[in-house]
Structures are given as structure tokens and as C-alpha cells.
Chain A
Amino acid sequence: MSWEVVIGLEIHAQLTTKSKIFSGASIAYGAAPNSQACAVDLGMPGMLPVVNHAVIGKGIALGLALNAELGKKQVFDRKNYFYPDLPKGYQTTQMDYPIVGKGYLDIEIDGETKRIGVTRAHLEEDAGKSNHGIVPGMTGIDLNRAGTPLLEIVSEPDLSSAQEAVAYARKMHELVTFLGICDGNMQEGSFRVDSNVSVRRPGEPLGTRAELKNINSFRFIEKAIEFEIERQIDLIESGGKVVQETRLYDSETNTTRSMRTKEEANDYRYFPCPDLLPVRITDEDIEAVRATMPELPGAKRARYVAELGLSEYDAGVLTSSRAMAEYFEALLEHTGGKDAKVCANWITSDLAGALNKAGLDIADSPISEQMLAGMINRIQDDTISGKIAKQVFDAMWKGEGSADEIIEAKGLKQITDTGAIEAMVDEVLANNPSQVEAYKGGQEKMMGYFVGQVMKASGGQANPGQVNKLLKEKLSS
């Protein structure tokens, strides 16, 4: 009998604000311990939290992008539990009135679109960090992260395989980074994915789920879920029972193992936070956010294919991040918008390759949009050939100046003087009588050889179109 897999994801996206959700302390990553934890973050008596305007705007942006209902009235609640990295004894979060209500996100799986429901997304604060091994027998607490704004995005249990779960997580990652509400850095914990995995026989009620936490790469999320599905099926088929628990994934052994099972179910005793008034947002607030929202990746991709004639693949690569799309659009603009395909090719092949090799993000590219545009413009006005352009590209990458400076300094200007090319063609034909005979005897592939020889003689600078034309004329006469 077959098994059905049911997965729901909880994604914590750290919001790209300057200050914390309830205080004016910085959220910059990597600061000295506790240098960014103020009295409000520490829950000192008499401190009053005040909601950061920016977190509301970022929440609205996500809600709009997910076609979700927006919480016109939001209420912050206290989720009570004790842990040393939670100085107040409660986490301030949104329980009954979250900022984002029901919405959805479409994912592509095996060439088909599947709509994944988003249950809700709510604003909350992050906790601090525990550090072990500083003093024997003690744990060191760094509260810099306490109060960092998070959006917890909860999906419906609509995902039915590890592949779908990862496709959804990637899509959400793409969305929040495109919106600029989260930097998406998984290594630094800015985008954390918790997976709730269960299995059942078709038609039966939901099985008991296990939660997989703290996995910081999409690849490992997929592997962890795959392992967990196998584990649960094996367990049930051998007569066992799945226990509701949190499990940790070990990438070394590619297995999941149980974190301590809680003695009793958590009782968080939620209640509205008396320190915070309800947040109300108006239609004007929503429209103000909508006006600043960028074109979303899905719409961009469709436009690149329909209006610019790019392939699905190129459109996908160019919209893989907001920085990439902005680079492409700037390049297109600086080259007069004439040839999107050429612009796309230079980005997806040469530039992406070089960036990848150097481990750089496109935002840190040593070749700016203007520089690359300068080079493409010289190809289009026949100053250089596409082949020579690769030399120019390498030189620009090494910081040798603009395309024009490099072409000038290295004397790379294409030879378009028909007389000069003709002389070279004549010389090549005169030096290769047997190949000429072969060509005339029907071996037309010899043409490639002649073109190669002429280009070599010209140091690659002859205009290939003219070379071809002249060769054909001479050989057919």
C-alpha cells in the first residue's frame, strides 16, 4: 500500500530594519556581545516597548505579494516560557490577530504549477544566543539578537514531497529577498526553515508529525525531509508509532535524531501584551506600501519571455535575485534596449561564470552595468568582434579600465578595411594550395579552416563577416 506525505513549513524571515522591533537598538550582525542589547531588550523594569514602523510596512509588503488578507487590526501577545536567552520570560508575538492572514504562493514542480496555501504570517521578536564553553559549567548569554524583528510565515500542510517543500522554501526566499524585506542569509540565520513532516495512508486522517529544525541550506532541508519520510514509514511498517517531537538533522550522517522529548506539552499561556496597544493599519498605509513594491519575480520572468524574447532559462537566471534583475535591466538600458538576448548571454555566461569562480555576488561585481554596456556597444557598432570582446571582458574584470580604454591600449579595434582583409585572404589562399584544391573538389568544410587562418593572421581582429564574404567570393571565382 502506498503512503502519502504531508509537509507544512514554518519560515522565520529576519526583517531588514536598522533597529529592533520594539527598541532603538541596532540589529547589525556580528557586533561585540551585548553591545546592541538595551534596557528594553533586556526587559528591565519600567521599560516600554514601541513598535517599529518599518516592520509593519515589510509585513504589509509580504501580505500583498502573497495575495493575502491583511490584519487591519493587529494585537501583540505574550508567549510565556522560561529560557535564559529570553530575558523577559515571554516572547512578544502576534497570536490571534496577525499582520498577514490567509494567502498563497504558487510553485513550479515538474513543469506544473501548484498553489500552496499560506495560513498566516505574524510579527515577533527573536531571542538571544547561548554560548557554551566560555566558563566551565556556565552558559554565556549574548542578547544582541533579542528583539530582532522576525516574520514567521506558516504554510498550510499542502506540500507532499521533499522536492515540493524545497521548491516552496526557495520561492519564499526569492520573494522576501526580492521585496527587500529579508536579506535571505541562511548561514547567519536570517532565513530559517522548520519543517513539519508526517505520513499517512491515502484517505486517512493526518499522521503524527515530527518537526525538523535549524537546517541552514536548501540541499540539507531536502535530504533531512527525505530521510524523515523514510524513517516514519519504516517505523510504522514495523509496528512502531511516530512521536510528536523536534528532531535535529545531522548532515555528516544524513540522519535525523530526537532532541529531548518534552515532558509535557508546552503551555505558553498567551495573553495580549498590556504594554502594547493594538496596531491599526489603513487602506492608505497599504497603498503606500504597494506603491513602493518592486515588480515581483514571477511577473518579471513572464515579461522577459513575452516582451524581450528571452528563453525561460535565461529569464529564470536573471530573476533569481533582485540584484541580478536590476543589473540586467540597467545593462539593457545602457545598451539602448536593442538586444536583450545579447545582454542576457553576457550576464548568464561570462559574468555569472566569473562571479561564481571568484565567489562574488553580482552586487559586488568588478564590472559594473555601465562598463559591460560600454563593451556591448562596441560589439554592436562593429568596433570589436564577439571573440575579441572576451579579451576585453577579461581585462575589465582585472581592473584594466573601461572597454574603450582597453580596446585603445591593446589595439583591439576590429579590421574592417576591405583592402587589408583581402590581402590577408589572398595570402592564406596562396599558402594553402592543396586545401584550396580540396575545397574546390567538394570539401566545403575547408571554409572553416580558411576563416581560422585569416583570423589568426589578423590577430583575431578581422571582421569575421567580411572574411567569410571575401573567402566565398575568391573561392568561387
Chain B
Amino acid sequence: MKAVLWYFIALFFARRGPAYFRGFLRLLSVKVVSRAISNFQIGSVEVSIGKSEVEYISRLAMIDVADDEVEQVSAKLSKVLDLFAQMEAVNTDGVEPMAHPHEVAQRLRADEITETDQHEKLQSVAPATAQDMYLVPQVIE
């Protein structure tokens, strides 16, 4: 799942030109890459994702993957991890991991109440509500 997210982030930055993509590469610390890879207990060269990993990831992501899709999905995810394996070869010694491609700090907001009660509007798109609460299938405690 982490890989999928990184995949989308990578796509996002790659499409915005080389400067952004360099930022993204810096963002990938050795730690992040090794964590992503160790999640799937795979070596740094050969990367593959089997059926059980797909099931595990889909359960974590709460996305149903039909049996006949598993093969396709595992191939796609493996490709993403191949990319990570490739990037792991980049020497990042002494490079401080970035938390964000922009080298700027967060601007802070004053501690003031600026929002008003809009629950009626917000709940107008909810599938089910009662007593101003959102209703979901019973959560067993």
C-alpha cells in the first residue's frame, strides 16, 4: 500500500518536470525505501508480490480485489517495487530526508474559531443520519 501511495506521488511529481522529480528523489531516504521493501520481505534486487501480499494490502486498504484480478494487480505492484529497488541504488549518503518537496516551512494559523455549524449542509450528502449523527453499520465494541 505504501508503494502504491508512493507510486502516485512519484507520478504526480514526475509530470511536473525535472525539478520536482529531483525533489521527490531527495524525499526518498534510504530509510523510507528500505522500510517499503522490508514490508514485503524481498531482496533489494528481485521484487515480486504474490497473492498473499495482494490480499494483505487489499485488506489494509479496504479495497476488494476480485480473484481474477489478483494476478494483474500483483504484476502492477511488483513493477512499482521494481522502481523502488532501482531508486535504492541511488547514493543518498549525507542527504537529509525531506518531508516535503517544497523547502518552505508551514505557515501557522491563529487559534481562532472561524468555522460555523454547517452540519445540515454536510449531512445532506451522507447516506444515513439520525439525531444529527452520521450512521454507519454497527461497530461491535
Min CB–CB distance A53 → chain B (angstroms): 4
Chain B stretch 1-52: residues in CB contact (< 8 A) with chain A: 1-2, 5-6, 9, 27, 32, 39
Min CB–CB distance B63 → chain A (angstroms): 11
CB-based contact B122/A277 at 8 Å = no
Q: How far is the CA of A33 from the CA of B100 in the complex (A)?
A: 35
Chain A stretch 193-230: residues in CB contact (< 8 A) with chain B: none
CB-based contact A34/B137 at 8 Å = no
CB-based contact A84/B109 at 8 Å = no
CB-based contact A51/B133 at 8 Å = no
Min CB–CB distance B116 → chain A (angstroms): 8
Interface flags, A455-476, vs B, CB<8A=1, else 0:
0000000000000000000000
CB-based contact B106/A140 at 8 Å = no
- A291 contacts chain B at the CB level, 8 A cutoff: no
CB-based contact A33/B5 at 8 Å = no
Chain A contact patch, size range = 35 or more
- B128 contacts chain A at the CB level, 8 A cutoff: yes
Chain B stretch 101-131: residues in CB contact (< 8 A) with chain A: 102, 104-115, 117-119, 122-123, 128, 130-131
- A356 contacts chain B at the CB level, 8 A cutoff: no
CB-based contact B115/A140 at 8 Å = no
- B66 contacts chain A at the CB level, 8 A cutoff: no
CB-based contact B106/A51 at 8 Å = yes
Q: How far is the CA of A143 from the CA of B115 in the complex (A)?
A: 14
- A280 contacts chain B at the CB level, 8 A cutoff: yes
- B95 contacts chain A at the CB level, 8 A cutoff: no
Judged by DSSP, the binding face of A is loop
Judged by DSSP, the binding face of B is loop
- B139 contacts chain A at the CB level, 8 A cutoff: yes
**A-B CB contacts (within 8 Å), total count:** 142
Given the known interface contacts A39-B122, A80-B1, A138-B136, the answer about A278 and B106 at a Cβ–Cβ threshold of 8 Å is: yes
CB-based contact A277/B131 at 8 Å = no
Residue numbers in A under 8 Å from B139 (CB-CB): 83-84, 130, 132, 139
Given the known interface contacts A19-B113, A75-B99, A269-B2, the answer about A279 and B108 at a Cβ–Cβ threshold of 8 Å is: yes
CB-based contact A141/B109 at 8 Å = no
- A37 contacts chain B at the CB level, 8 A cutoff: yes
Q: How far is the CA of A38 from the CA of B113 in the complex (A)?
A: 11
Given the known interface contacts A24-B115, A276-B106, the answer about A33 and B132 at a Cβ–Cβ threshold of 8 Å is: yes
- A82 contacts chain B at the CB level, 8 A cutoff: yes
Residue numbers in A under 8 Å from B104 (CB-CB): 277
Given the known interface contacts A137-B138, A138-B135, the answer about A38 and B115 at a Cβ–Cβ threshold of 8 Å is: yes
- A402 contacts chain B at the CB level, 8 A cutoff: no
Min CB–CB distance B103 → chain A (angstroms): 9
CB-based contact B137/A139 at 8 Å = yes
Min CB–CB distance A20 → chain B (angstroms): 8
Q: How far is the CA of A127 from the CA of B54 in the complex (A)?
A: 29
- A23 contacts chain B at the CB level, 8 A cutoff: yes
- A178 contacts chain B at the CB level, 8 A cutoff: no
3 tightest A-B CB contacts, nearest first: A24-B114, A140-B133, A54-B111
A to B CB contacts below 8 Å, 30 in the list:
A25-B113, A26-B113, A34-B122, A34-B123, A34-B133, A37-B122, A38-B115, A39-B122, A50-B108, A51-B106, A51-B108, A53-B109, A53-B110, A80-B1, A83-B139, A84-B134, A130-B139, A130-B141, A134-B133, A139-B139, A140-B130, A142-B132, A269-B1, A269-B60, A271-B5, A276-B106, A277-B105, A278-B99, A278-B100, A278-B105
A→B interface (CB under 8 Å): 17-19, 23-26, 32-40, 42, 44, 50-56, 75, 80, 82-84, 97, 130-132, 134-135, 137-143, 267, 269, 271-272, 274, 276-280
